[in-house]
A and B are shown apart, each in its own frame.
Chain A
Amino acid sequence: MIRNISEQRILNVDLTSGQTWVEDLPREELFRFLGGRGIAAKILYQRVNAGIDPLGPENVLIFSTGTLTGTSAPSSGRSSVTCKGPATGLYLKVSVGGHLGAELKYAGYDHIVFSGASERPVYLWIDDGQVEIRNAHHLWGKGTRETDRLIKEGVGDEEVQTAVIGPGGENKVLFACIMVSLYNSASRGGVGAVMGSKNLKAVAVRGHGGLRVAEGEAYFDLATRMRQELAEDAGTESLYNWGTSGSIPGLNEMGMLAAYNFNQVTIEGAERLSGQHLVDEGYLTGRESCFSCSTACHRYVRSKSERYGDVNDSGPELETVMALGAECGIVETEAVLKANQLCNDYGLDTISMGHVLSWAMECYEKGLLKGEAEELDLRFGNADAQLEMIRRIAFREGKLGDLLANGTKRAAEEVGHDSWKWTIQAKGLEQSAVDTRAAKSYALAFAVNPRGPDHLMTETYAEFGFTEESRALIRKITGDERYANPTLLDKRAEIVRWHEDCYAASEALGFCVFTSTAAFAVNPENMAQLFGHALGLEFSEEELMLGGRRIVTVERCFNAREGARRKDDHLPWRMMNEPVPEGPNQGMVTDREMLDRLLDQYYELHGWDPETGIPKQKTLEALSLLELCGDVAQLRVGIVGSAN
């Protein structure tokens, strides 16, 4: 079947009743919410009532493709998974690459909305127009790799694309992830636990259809030009050469490499965690791209070591080597490759896992964890203990494994004393390893991030001004490139809001944010034009960014309805109270006063109430969101409890 891109189809799957049905998305909804992440936010808002248990059958799990996913637009193959998150009790969206999104498009669907919960383990099999909920007893308990292999064997087709949970998701680890197209992790916030709570082991898709854009020639010409520009971009060249972990040497030199649970910002031997080292020492066996991307930032690696065994797997990303490596005081390459492999196979988010373990190591070294921690000698740098704990957490084995499977916020509530101060989390989500003490746009972006403090909703990389292009972007946003300085407080709200809008729009269309906010060929102007050519209408950059803002506002409203308020927009305690201990940023911190100043600017810019952080009625009106989110404008402080 060849479909027009503007005719979006939603596949609904009620796992309680076993029924499936398809609805068409009204065309005007696509213009308003742009697609992917935007449509998912709207569906989540409409279908999930405030206060429900994220791991109960009332939650939904939405797989969404970008509007342009499946076309020749460069790096447009991303999809997203959206639900109410179990780690935070708030809005959760994760973006993921691979080839699943395009395959789903070719099968005839743009979104899948899972509701309810199955009584027994199942997986969803989509073969073009045929949709079947299948028994997954033989897959339950298996790792993600084996599950993918067994599904492909079972349907007799190697080209099938899958989204799979491992034991982490089955055991509802609050930072379980979903592995997509075998090697791509839809991480953060426990999206895999939601899938596990529905007894949904996997989604497997095969599609043979195609997509039609309205203005084919213009679309193809622009997509080709953007592809060429991307190929010439220095940023994408470095991503190809070294992957995301190519940044390790620079971060270490700048004193921005989070180590030892953020007690240090450099680590001896950091280069062994770098993408350059993987190339130089022969660990790298291949490079891989997501659908329709020529950047190929993903790695395949192989290592053999007597101590850690064989690894033949996807390579670790920057955040992974920081979290599982430096944060835990580990710089042995083979150990980190092994830890990454285990997390991928068990279906666990490497960022949260690294922070959970580094927090546990700090607690152990400070005498707050005994018993199993003592037996394992869970100190910083002990890779054997780390690997063993990853396994125990995946299966919630033992008291400690079960405790840590709930993430640092809940674990600290059990451990008590000052241990909560060492949790690198806010809203219940472990922070990415960016040092928000020394980068103020990141600090603001992380504090207001609806899913908790991380870089994958709004990465304000341009504030560092490392390249001519990023300085030009800061000039465009603020009027002066001198604001390309991460230590300044002024203009951070403008920088964050621009990136929020751009991220949301990119992800709604299916673009990879690496290419839209770090390399600049996929810029809002180009994205808007492509969207217009695809749908056959004039569409401006301003309309695109407004669509992005509409998405951000719906996500904010969802959280407000769950009870989140201004006081929930904060950073981990250590980021706000313990100054950077060493290096060029020594002494810096983003304290409460600074954060309040940033929040005041940011709320005002958005048209959100400064006391509560809730979007004002007139803001919702201006974004044509009153019909959808009008209930939120009525909320007053104190009516609903805090999410934190």
Chain B
Amino acid sequence: MPKVTLRLFGFGDRADRFREETRAITHGATVRSVWEELRTTTGQEELLARIDEGAVLVLINGRPIHQLEDWQTVLDNGDKVTILVKAFGG
């Protein structure tokens, strides 16, 4: 089964600000399917459900998904998937 590394920033409280886990995915899994799964299996469903998709930045191997196939981007074995709450500033 293919596996991806998930790196989650900025979702939980202090103790859970950054989390990394390896997750098995099905063949053909997309960013959206992993995101949906995450929202129901992390133990933080309530928190994640409140987060608007538009406020989330997803990177695959450091590349923003809107430069790929957006939420429909198909994940490969070994991909690093970073999910952050958007932030900006200078």
Kindly state whether residue B84 has any CB partner on chain A within 8 Å.
yes
Pair A518/B88 contact, Cβ less than 8 Å: yes
Beyond known contacts A468-B54, A584-B61: 19 more, CB 8 A cutoff: A238-B85, A239-B87, A243-B89, A247-B88, A249-B18, A250-B59, A250-B84, A253-B9, A253-B62, A254-B63, A271-B17, A276-B10, A461-B88, A465-B67, A466-B57, A466-B88, A467-B86, A484-B66, A514-B89
Q: Which residues of A contact B43 (CB under 8 A)?
A: none
Residues in chain A near residue B9, CB distance under 8 A: 249-250, 253, 276
Q: Are B89's CB and A255's CB within 8 A?
A: no
- CB-CB nearest in chain A for B85: A238
Is A583 part of the contact surface with B, judged by Cβ < 8 Å?
yes
Binary CB contact string for chain B from 69 to 90 against chain A (1 if under 8 A, 0 otherwise): 0000000000000101111111
Chain B 25-58 interface mask (CB, 8 Å, partner A; 1/0) = 0000000000000000000000000001011010
- How long is the Cα–Cα vector from A390 to B62 in the complex, in angstroms? 34
By the criterion CB–CB under 8 Å, are A255 and B66 in contact?
no
Interface of B is mostly: mixed
A465 to B70, CA, bound (A): 12
Q: Which residues of B contact A466 (CB under 8 A)?
A: 57, 64, 66, 86, 88
A238 with B64, Cβ < 8 A, contacts A250-B57, A253-B7, A468-B54 known: no
Given contacts A465-B67, A484-B66, contact A239 B89 (CB under 8 A): yes
Residues of A within 8 A of B14 (CB): 280
Chain B proximity mask over A273-302: 1 for CB below 8 Å, otherwise 0: 001110010000000000000000100000
- Measured CA separation A319–B86 after assembly (Å): 17
The answer on a CB contact under 8 Å between A255 and B88 is no
Point out residues on A near B: beta carbons under 8 Å. Answer: 234-235, 238-239, 241-247, 249-250, 253-255, 271, 275-277, 280, 297, 317-319, 432, 455-456, 459, 461, 464-468, 471, 484-485, 514, 518, 583-585
Task: Decide if A254 touches B86 in the complex (CB within 8 Å).
Answer: no
**With A280-B17, A485-B67 as given contacts, are A249 and B10 in contact (CB-CB < 8 Å)?**
yes
Query: What A residues does B61 contact at CB under 8 A?
Result: 584
- Most chain A CB neighbours (cut-off 10 Å) among B57, B82, B84, B90: B90
Q: Can you list 28 residue pairs at the A/B interface with Cβ under 8 Å?
A: A238-B86, A238-B87, A238-B89, A242-B87, A244-B88, A244-B89, A246-B87, A247-B88, A249-B18, A249-B84, A250-B9, A250-B57, A253-B9, A253-B59, A253-B62, A253-B84, A254-B63, A276-B10, A277-B17, A280-B17, A432-B90, A461-B88, A465-B67, A466-B88, A467-B54, A514-B88, A514-B90, A585-B62
Q: How far is the CB of B42 from chain A (nearest CB, A)?
A: 18
Q: Return the contact of B17 from the options A234, A276, A317, A456 (Cβ within 8 A).
A: A276
Name which residue of chain B comes closest to A484, CB basis. Answer: B66
Residue of A nearest to B61 (CB): A584
> 6 tightest A-B contacts by CB?
A244-B89, A584-B62, A246-B87, A238-B87, A280-B14, A253-B82
| CB-CB under 8 A for A255 and B62, given A238-B88, A250-B84, A468-B54 | yes
The answer on a CB contact under 8 Å between A239 and B88 is yes
**Docked pose: A241 CA to B90 CA in angstroms:** 15
Separation of A485 and B65 alpha carbons in the complex (Å): 11
Which chain B residue shows the least CB distance to A487?
B67
Which residue on A lies nearest to B83, using beta carbons? A253
CA distance A242 to B86 in the complex (A): 11
Give the nearest-CB partner of B66 in chain A. A465
Q: Does B63 lie within 8 Å of A584, measured CB to CB?
A: yes
Q: Contact between A245 and B89 (Cβ–Cβ < 8 Å)?
A: yes
Number of interface residues of B (CB under 8 A): 25
The residue on B at minimum CB distance from A250 is B84
* Chain B residue with the shortest CB-CB distance to A464: B64
* A234 contacts B84, C-beta separation under 8 Å: no
Residues of B within 8 A of A484 (CB): 66
- Are B90 and A271 interface neighbours, CB within 8 A? no
Is the Cβ of B18 less than 8 Å from the Cβ of A244? no
A254 touches B59 (CB 8 A): yes
Residue numbers in A under 8 Å from B17 (CB-CB): 271, 276-277, 280
Q: Complex formed: what's the CA distance from A518 to B86 in Å? A: 12
CA A317 to CA B87, docked complex, whole Å:
13
Judge whether B89 and A297 touch: CB under 8 Å: yes
B12 to chain A, nearest CB (A): 10
Q: How far is the CB of A444 from chain B (nearest CB, A)?
A: 17
CB nearest to B59 among chain A residues: A253
- What is the minimal beta-carbon distance from A335 to any residue of chain B, in angstroms? 21
A246–B87 CA distance with the chains assembled, in angstroms: 6
Residues of chain B with a CB closer than 8 A to A277's CB: 17
Give the docked Cα–Cα distance between A254 and B82 (Å).
Answer: 9
* Chain B min CB distance to A5 (Å): 29
Chain B residues with CB under 8 Å of A456's CB are 90
Residues of chain A lying within 8 A (CB to CB) of residue B84: 249-250, 253
Closest to A318 in B: B89
Q: Which residue of B lies closest to A275 (CB)?
A: B87
Residues on the B chain within 8 Å of A247, using CB: 87-89
Q: Known contacts A249-B10, A253-B82, A584-B61; is A459 also within 8 Å of B90 by CB?
A: yes
In the bound complex, what is the Cα–Cα distance between A381 and B63 (angstroms)?
Answer: 29
Q: Name the distance in Å between B16's Cβ and chain A's nearest Cβ.
A: 10
| Chain A residues with CB below 8 A from B87, complex form | 238-239, 241-242, 246-247, 249-250, 275
Contact residues in A for B62 (Cβ distance below 8 Å):
253-255, 583-585
Minimum C-beta distance from A74 to chain B (A): 17
Q: Are B90 and A244 touching (Cβ within 8 A)?
A: yes
Contacts of B55 in A (CB 8 A): 234
Given the complex of chains A and B, what is the CA–CA distance between A276 and B84 in angstroms? 12
Set of chain A residues within 8 Å of B52, measured between Cβ atoms: 234
How distant is the Cα of A455 from the Cα of B64 in the complex, in angstroms?
Answer: 21
CB distance from A491 to the nearest CB of B (A): 15
Q: Which residue of B lies closest to A586 (CB)?
A: B62
Q: Which of B14, B52, B85 gathers most chain A CB within 10 Å? A: B85
Whether B86 pairs with A235 at a CB distance below 8 angstroms is: yes
Chain B residue nearest to A585 (CB atoms) is: B62
Query: Closest CB-CB distance, A334 to chain B, in whole Å?
Result: 18
Q: A249–B66 Cα gap in the complex (Å)?
A: 19
Once the chains bind, are A465 and B64 in contact (CB under 8 Å)? yes
Selected contact of B89 from candidates A249, A271, A317, CB within 8 Å: A317
Provide the residues of chain B in CB contact with A249, threshold 8 Å: 9-10, 18, 84, 87
